[in-house]
């Protein structure tokens, strides 16, 4: 698992390799042209690929870029297209969350183990919807209202898109979203549905 930052080029920005932090790998899925910068339309397309509905994908891509763009572009004036710079994505880490990323964007898997040990009441390796809500309540830092909102959106969207047929969010899926592998997996799962929809359109 990756454990250090990298400045190697990936497209024009960086290379998706084993030296890239898991946090960067987590967001690189949405960088469709691999130039190191994510634009709202790329995020929209990414959410559609992993099973997000049209209106949900519009809402998420708009909100995410408005909130995260400026911190990833330190010292620059606001941009009307709200780009997110992958190289600086660690600057967008927020409170009231699992703590599964350290300050450099490295994945701390022990934090996920703690979550499932504490909140996996029904199953040891999966969370129900109510258990996700309990997790979110317990992780709230005092007066960190934006952190509450961001954490709630992240976990509820993760649950919506990654739960299994029994309505369970498995530990494997949660680890996948943090180590950067889940989005590619979800895209492969939804590819046949998208292809079928396009062929009948």
Backbone angles phi, psi at 115, to 5 degrees: -60, -50
Q: Report how far residue 148's alpha carbon sits from residue 94's, in angstroms, rounded to the nearest whole number.
A: 9
Q: Tell me the per-residue pLDDT of 81-106, one tens digit each, with 9 for 90 and over.
A: 999 999 999 999 999 999 999 999 99
pTM of the model: 0.86
What average pLDDT does this structure show over 9-37?
Answer: 77
Q: Tell me the per-residue pLDDT of 108-139, one tens digit each, with 9 for 90 and over.
A: 999 999 999 999 999 999 999 999 999 999 99
- The residue ranges of every structural domain in the chain are 22-195
Q: Report how far residue 73's alpha carbon sits from residue 128's, in angstroms, rounded to the nearest whole number.
A: 37
């Amino acid at each position: 698992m990756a454990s250090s930052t990298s400045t190697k080029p990936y497209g024009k920005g960086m290379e998706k390799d084993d030296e890239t932090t898991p946090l960067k790998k987590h967001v690189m899925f949405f960088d469709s042209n691999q130039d190191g910068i994510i634009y709202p339309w790329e995020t929209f397309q990414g959410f559609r690929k992993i099973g997000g509905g049209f209106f949900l994908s519009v809402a998420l891509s708009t909100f995410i870029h408005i909130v995260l763009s400026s911190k990833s572009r330190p010292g620059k004036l606001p941009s009307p297209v709200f780009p997110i710079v992958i190289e600086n994505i660690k600057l967008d880490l927020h409170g009231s969350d699992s703590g599964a990323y350290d300050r450099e964007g490295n994945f701390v898997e022990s934090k996920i183990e703690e979550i499932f040990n504490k909140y996996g009441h029904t199953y040891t390796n999966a969370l129900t919807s109510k258990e996700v809500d309990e997790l979110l309540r317990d992780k709230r830092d005092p007066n960190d209202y934006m952190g509450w909102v961001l954490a709630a959106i992240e976990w509820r969207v993760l649950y919506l898109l990654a739960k299994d047929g029994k309505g369970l969010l498995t530990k494997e899926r949660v680890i996948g979203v943090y180590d950067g592998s889940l989005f590619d997996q979800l895209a492969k799962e939804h590819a046949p549905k998208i292809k079928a929809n396009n062929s009948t359109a």
